C-alpha cells in the first residue's frame, strides 16, 4: 500500500510539530513520521491526545490504526502548546477552517494557533499552513506573527493538502503532487529537505504563497464542478432516455477529460467541496467578479441532493406522506463515518417533513447520524432489518455491502419494492430480472 519505508540510519530527520489531529493533522503527522521525521502532535482536546497515546485514532480512516501501531514511528502526542512549539523546527498548522455565516472561511482556529506560537516561540522557525485558507491568509499570518516578535523570525509557508477521506493515509503517502508556497530561499530549502523522500516520484511545485493557496481552492472547485457537470448531463440524459454511465465512460476515454470524478449521483457531500467553493465564491464577490459559475456549482448541487425525492413523489402521487422508508448509507461517501454535508441529511429532513417513518442503515455512520437526528429515526444494524416491510428505499452511499446486496431481497422483504438509488449501485440489466420499481440517476 505504501511507497515509502522508514528512513535508514544517517538520513535527514527533522523535528516537526503538527497542530490539530483531524484528517489533515493526524495523517500529516503519521506521514512525516513514516518518512523518518520526529513528530510531536498537538491537540487542544486532551481526550483525543490520551486516546492517541493508547493507539486509538480520533477519526475513522482506513489504515490509520495500523500505522499508529507501527513500533519504529517517531511520533509523540501532547496537549501542551509549549512542548510542541519549543521542540520543533517546523510547525504545521492543520486546524479546521469551517464555513463562516457569509460563506467565507472562519480563521479563528488558525489565529489561535498563531497566538500560541507567538507566546511560546524562543527561536527562528518555519510555520507551515496546511489548512485550506483564503488567498492572502499566509501573508497576513506572516505579518501577524512577525509583527509581534522581537529578534525572532518566522517564515510562513503554504503547503496545501490534497488527501481524500477514505483513502487519506494512502493519498498522503503517495501524493499526487506537493505544493510549497514560499518566496524565502531558506524556507524552500528546508521544505525540500523535509519532503526529500518523495522527490524521486512526486512532482513538487514551488511557487509563491498566494498561488499555492489558490491551487488548493481551484482544485477543489474544479472537482466539484466536474461532478456537477456530470450530474447536469445525467439530468438531461434521463429526459432523453440516454444512459449517463455509458456517456461518462465514453467521455472519460478522452485523456483530456479523464474518467475520474464523472460518477453521476445525488450530489457531492463532505466537509470540503461545498465549503471551499463557497469560500472561493465569496472571494470572487469581494473582487467584484461575482463568479456565477461558482455560485451555480453550489446551487445545482443543493437541488441534486433531493432529486430522488421528486421521483418518489411522482411515483406515489398524492400518497407520498406517512410512508415507511428505509435509507441505506448515511456517510457522504463510503469508507468514512463522516456525515458532513452528506446528501442523506437533506433527504431524511425532507422525508421527515412528509411524516415518513424512517429506518436507516450504515455500516459505521449510525452513531454520527444519531447526533443529528436523535430518536426521530430508527437505526438498524443490517440492510435486511432496514428495508423490511418498507414502502420505499433510498440509497445514499455506495457502500460495497449495498452494491453487493442480493437484489431478490428488495422484492422479498419490502412491502412495495420501490428502490431510489442515488449512487447507481446496480446495473439495469440485473435489476430487470426482478419485480422492483427502480429509479436511479441519469438512467431510464
Applying CB under 6 A, does 394 fall inside the site for ligand UGA? no
Secondary structure element (H or E) that encloses residue 328, with its range: strand 324-328
What cell was used for 109? 482556529
In angstroms, give the least distance from the CB of 399 to ligand UGA. 11
Which of 41/165 has CB closer to ligand UGA?
165
**Of the candidates 220, 228, 347, 440, which one interacts with ligand UGA according to CB under 6 A?**
220
- Catalytic one of 94, 237, 272, 380: 272
Q: How far is the CB of 200 from ligand UGA (least distance, A)?
A: 23
**Would you count residue 7 as binding ligand UGA (CB under 6 A)?**
no
330: nearest Cα among 371, 375, 378, 363 = 363
Backbone angle region of 166, left / alpha / beta, with phi > 0 → left and psi within -120 to 50 → alpha: left
For ligand UGA, the binding residue among 111, 261, 354, 434 (CB under 6 A) is: 261
Residue 395 interacting with ligand UGA (CB under 6 A) = no
With residues binned 3-state (H G I as helix, E B as strand, rest as coil), the percentages for the chain, rounded to 5, are: 45, 15, 40
| C-alpha grid cell, residue 11 | 538520513
In the bound state with ligand UGA, the residue whose beta carbon lies nearer, of 224 and 431, is: 224
345 binds ligand UGA (CB under 6 A): no
Residue 227 sits in the site that holds ligand UGA (CB under 6 A): yes
Q: How far is the CB of 225 from ligand UGA (least distance, A)?
A: 12
Q: Any idea what DSSP says for residue 181?
A: E
Q: Is residue 272 flagged as an active site residue? A: yes
Instruction: Give the C-alpha separation, 52 to 64, whole Å.
Output: 11
227 or 407: CB nearest ligand UGA? 227
Distance CA(329)–CA(245), nearest Å, equals: 21
Site mask, ligand UGA, residues 273-292, x = CB under 6 A? x-------------------
- Give me 91's grid cell: 510547525
C-alpha–C-alpha distance, residues 160 and 173, integer Å: 15
User: From CA 313, how far away is CA 323, in angstroms rounded?
Assistant: 11
DSSP 143-188: HHHHTT-SS--EEEEE------TTSHHHHHHS-S-EEEE-S-HHHH
Q: Point out which span in 33-41, 140-148, 161-169, 190-198 binds ligand UGA (CB under 6 A).
A: 161-169
Catalytically annotated residues:
272
Q: Using CB under 6 A as the criterion, which residues of the chain lie in contact with ligand UGA when the complex forms?
A: 132, 161-165, 220, 223, 227, 261-263, 265, 268-270, 272-273, 332-333
Amino acid at each position: 500500500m505504501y511507497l515509502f519505508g522508514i528512513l535508514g540510519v544517517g538520513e535527514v530527520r527533522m523535528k516537526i510539530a503538527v497542530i490539530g489531529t483531524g484528517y489533515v493533522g493526524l495523517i500529516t503527522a503519521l506521514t512525516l513520521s513514516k518518512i523518518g521525521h520526529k513528530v510531536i502532535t498537538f491537540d487542544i482536546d486532551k481526550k483525543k491526545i490520551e486516546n492517541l497515546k493508547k493507539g486509538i485514532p480520533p477519526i475513522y480512516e482506513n489504515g490509520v490504526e495500523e500505522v499508529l501501531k507501527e513500533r519504529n514511528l517517531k511520533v509523540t502526542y501532547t496537549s501542551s502548546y509549549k512542548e510542541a512549539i519549543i521542540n520543533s523546527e517546523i510547525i504545521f498548522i492543520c486546524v479546521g477552517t469551517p464555513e463562516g455565516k457569509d460563506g467565507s472561511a472562519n480563521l479563528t482556529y488558525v489565529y489561535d494557533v498563531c497566538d500560541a506560537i507567538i507566546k511560546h516561540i524562543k527561536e527562528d522557525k518555519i510555520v507551515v499552513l496546511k489548512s485550506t485558507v483564503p488567498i492572502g491568509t499566509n501573508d497576513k499570518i506572516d505579518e501577524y506573527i512577525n509583527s509581534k516578535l522581537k529578534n525572532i523570525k518566522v517564515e510562513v509557508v503554504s503547503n496545501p493538502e490534497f488527501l481524500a477521506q477514505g483513502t487519506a493515509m494512502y493519498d498522503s503517502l503517495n501524493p499526487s503532487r506537493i505544493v510549497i508556497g514560499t518566496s524565502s530561499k531558506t524556507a524552500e530549502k528546508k521544505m525540500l529537505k523535509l519532503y526529500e523522500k518523495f522527490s524521486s516520484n512526486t512532482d513538487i511545485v514551488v511557487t509563491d504563497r498566494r498561488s499555492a493557496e489558490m491551487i488548493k481552492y481551484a482544485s477543489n472547485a474544479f472537482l466539484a464542478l466536474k461532478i456537477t457537470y456530470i450530474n447536469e448531463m445525467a439530468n438531461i440524459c434521463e429526459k432523453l432516455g440516454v444512459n449517463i454511465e455509458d456517456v461518462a465512460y465514453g467521455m472519460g476515454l478522452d485523456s483530456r477529460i479523464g474518467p475520474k470524478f464523472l460518477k453521476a449521483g445525488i450530489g457531492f457531500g463532505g466537509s470540503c467541496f461545498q465549503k471551499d467553493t463557497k469560500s472561493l465564491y465569496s472571494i470572487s464577490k469581494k473582487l467584484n467578479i461575482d463568479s456565477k459559475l461558482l455560485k451555480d456549482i453550489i446551487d445545482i448541487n443543493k437541488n441534486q441532493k433531493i432529486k430522488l425525492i421528486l421521483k418518489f413523489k411522482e411515483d406515489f402521487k398524492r400518497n407520498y406522506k406517512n410512508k415507511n422508508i428505509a435509507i441505506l448509507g448515511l456517510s457522504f461517501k463510503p469508507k468514512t463515518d463522516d456525515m458532513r454535508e452528506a446528501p442523506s441529511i437533506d433527504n431524511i429532513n425532507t422525508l421527515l417533513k412528509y411524516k415518513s417513518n424512517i429506518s436507516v442503515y450504515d455500516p459505521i455512520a449510525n452513531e454520527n447520524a444519531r447526533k443529528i437526528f436523535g430518536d426521530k429515526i430508527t437505526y438498524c444494524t443490517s440492510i435486511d432489518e432496514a428495508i423490511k416491510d418498507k414502502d420505499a428505499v433510498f440509497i445514499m452511499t455506495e457502500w460495497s455491502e449495498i452494491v453487493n446486496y442480493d437484489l431478490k431481497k428488495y422484492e422479498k422483504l419490502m412491502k412495495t419494492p420501490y428502490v431510489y438509488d442515488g449512487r447507481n449501485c446496480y446495473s439495469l440489466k440485473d435489476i430487470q430480472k426482478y419485480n422492483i420499481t427502480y429509479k436511479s440517476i441519469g438512467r431510464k
